[in-house]
Amino acid sequence: MTATRTPRFSADLGGSAAALSLLVVVALWVSDGGVQQLGSLDAWGRLTGLVAADLMLVQVLLMARIPLVERAFGQDRLARWHRWTGFSSFWLMVVHIVTVTGLLTELWDQIVNYPGMLLATAGTLALTMVVVTSIRAARRKLRYESWHLLHLYAYLGVGLALPHQLWTGTDFAGSPVARAYWWTLYVVSAGAVLAYRVGLPAWRNWRHRLVVTRVVPEGPGLTSVYLTGRRLGELPVRAGQFFQWRFLDGAGWSRANPYSLSATPHGDRLRITVKNLGDGSSRVATLRPGTRVLVEGPYGKLTGESYAGGPVVLVACGIGVTPLLSLLGELPYQPGEATLIYRARTEAELAFRSELEWFARHRGVRVVTLLGPRAEGSSWLPGSLAGQGDAATLRQIVPQVATAHLYVCGPEAWAESVRGAALEAGVAADRLHTELFSW
């Protein structure tokens, strides 16, 4: 498999571009007399509306699946920033609406009589629905597929806001510089979505034509799917990454689900392993050889790009072992340098025993299993070990952990506990790599 190395300056460049966009928006507002009108609600309404629009477009770019951005930041960080910018832009939009329209009678008059305001109102309602369903309490009650479908309405909301800015927004159309900036940002955002959410996946699926070759039960509720295709050696994927998968096996094929590779990608095959969680994942066990597959990706930063040897520790919880298993086959560690810590509730939930035994026997990987219900509170350990301290137990299991690269994959709260313990144990932040199973 081919893999492109990420330039070191990519993250700094991306963060600087986002910050610069906000500075440009404020500068445009100032140049249009914003400071002189600070005493009026209208001035604050214009400013909050401009910043909200800018953050919405930054939010679109964050999740446009731009390969360089994905490799520079990883899905975990992008998802957090996407959530933060989404909520921030929404509340700024609310302030904008209240300060610009004032009374409900004035709001109704503007909606009915001002050009583009009906579309903007529809866009606001779409964005409100997305924000409400993004609150953690609401997300817990939704299936991933339902949440993902509703989330796509954010694109509709952003798009419907454009006409009202064009026709009634003095800060948008008041100067050639403002027009050039906003048109550029809208075109870049729309182009990124079309290119990387539609065009690139379509090209890769046409070129590689993935199909299911084998479906293998791995244990209670676990199923591995082996796939092959054309020119897979040209697919830019690394161990530890994931794809969004659509299996063309009938109803429900349009809903994508994220699954990590569970084996090191080779030139002629891929493997994923899926846990039956009762949603689209339950269909995987019924797949048949020959089923066509559509993918988007690869995504994720849980790779060995920055690892060149030395101690390495991989910490997995449950199905989180899958990307770490693929990493075990790719990382260039020497015998005795790699330790896999595998958390599970019961011994029956431990998967891939024969493969882990192979790595222990042929590559000198030390496998440590931690069994039992998780301790109360924020500890990542089972209850039987929680009293020893999270960081102290990690150092006891791996005495050289402070000098190691550490890879973590599992549920969000559990992975955050491991991360905290690792930092306390002396692991450098740039050697700590995480992939959270959350949405």
**Dihedral of CA 394/332/272/357: which sign?**
negative
CA 383 to chain centre: 30
Calpha distance 73→94 (Å, rounded): 30
Task: Please give the Cα distance from 329 to 82 (Å, whole number).
Answer: 32
Report the distance separating Cα 223 and Cα 281, nearest Å.
9
Phi, psi of 379 (to 5 degrees): -70, 145
For residues 150 and 144, the answer to whether their CB atoms sit within 8 Å is no
Neighbours of 206 (CB within 10 A): 9
Domain shared by 117 and 160, yes or no: yes
Judging by beta carbons within 10 Å of its beta carbon (0-12, 13-18, 19+), is residue 334 exposed, middle or buried?
exposed
pLDDT at 419: 93
Contact 14, 69 (CB under 8 A): yes
CA–CA separation, 52 and 95 (whole Å): 10
Question: Domain ends where: 299, 333, 360?
Answer: 299
Domain co-membership, 75 together with 186: yes
Domain boundary among 299, 334, 358: 299
Per DSSP bridges, beta strands 257-260 and 312-317 are unpaired
| Residues in Cβ contact with 160 at an 8 Å cutoff, skipping those fewer than 6 apart | 119, 120, 122, 123, 126
CA-nearest of 204, 205, 225 to 213 is 225
Widest Cα–Cα separation across the chain:
76
User: How far is the C-alpha of 284 from the C-alpha of 270, rounded, in Å?
Assistant: 15
149 to each of 85, 144, 244, 256, 279, how far by Cα in Å?
20, 9, 14, 10, 14
- CA atoms of 189 and 174, how far apart (whole Å): 22
User: Could you give the CA distance from residue 375 to residue 361 in angstroms, rounded to a whole number?
Assistant: 32
Do residues 199 and 215 both lie within one domain? no
In a domain, 403, yes or no: yes
Summarised one tens digit per residue, pLDDT across range 207-225 is 999 999 999 988 778 899 9
pLDDT for the residue 44? 77
CATH code of the domain covering residue 275: 2.40.30.10
Residue 106 within any structural domain of the chain? yes
Q: Does residue 106 sit in the same domain as residue 155? A: yes
Together in a domain, 235 and 114: no
Asked whether residue 3 is assigned to any structural domain, the reply reads: no
Instruction: Supply the CATH number for residue 429's domain.
Output: 3.40.50.80
CB 341 within 8 A of CB 313: yes
User: What are the residues facing 225 on neighbouring strands?
Assistant: 215, 272
Calpha distance 436→75 (Å, rounded): 9
Instruction: Using alpha carbons, list the distances in angstroms from residue 41 to 29, 101, 114.
Output: 14, 10, 19
Dihedral angle sign, alpha carbons of residues 322, 327, 333, 335 = positive
| Residues 388 and 328 placed together within one structural domain of the fold | yes
Token pair for 97? 């609406």
The tens digit of pLDDT for each residue in 283-341 reads 888 899 999 999 998 988 888 888 989 999 999 998 899 999 999 999 999 999 999 99
DSSP state letters, 265-282: --SS-EEEEEE--SSGGG
Computed from CA positions of residues 202, 208, 209, 214, in that sequence, does the dihedral angle turn out positive or negative? negative
Strand partners, 226: 214, 271
Predicted TM-score (pTM) of the model is 0.80
Strand arrangement, sheet containing 432-437: 366-371, 338-344, 312-317, 405-411, 432-437
| The domain boundary residue, chosen from 158, 173, 203 | 203
Q: CA–CA separation, 366 vs 63, rounded Å? A: 37
What pLDDT does residue 170 have? Answer: 62
In this structure, is residue 2 part of a structural domain? no
Structural domain that includes position 81 = 10-203
- Where the chain has pLDDT below 70, the residues are 1-12, 34-39, 100-123, 130-154, 156-157, 159, 161-174, 278-280, 437-439
Q: Which residue has the tokens 């790699």?
A: 338
- Residue 119 domain flag: yes
Residue 304, domain member (yes or no): no
Q: Are residues 123 and 272 in the same domain?
A: no
Q: Quick one: tokens of 188?
A: 């870049």
- Torsion over CA: 150, 277, 354, 313 (sign): positive
Classify residue 294: in a domain, yes or no.
yes
For residue 4, tell me if it sits in a domain. no
Looking at the fold, whether 227 and 142 belong to one and the same domain comes out as no
Q: Are residues 215 and 186 in the same domain?
A: no
Same-domain status, 264 and 391: no
Give SS3 for 317.
Answer: strand
pLDDT for res 162: 67
**Residues 116, 219: one domain?**
no
405-411 and 366-371 beta bridge pairing: unpaired
**What's the structural domain count of the chain?**
3
Q: Other C-beta atoms within 10 Å of 40: how many? A: 11
Return the structure tokens found at 271.
């493997």
Same domain assignment for residues 72 and 164:
yes
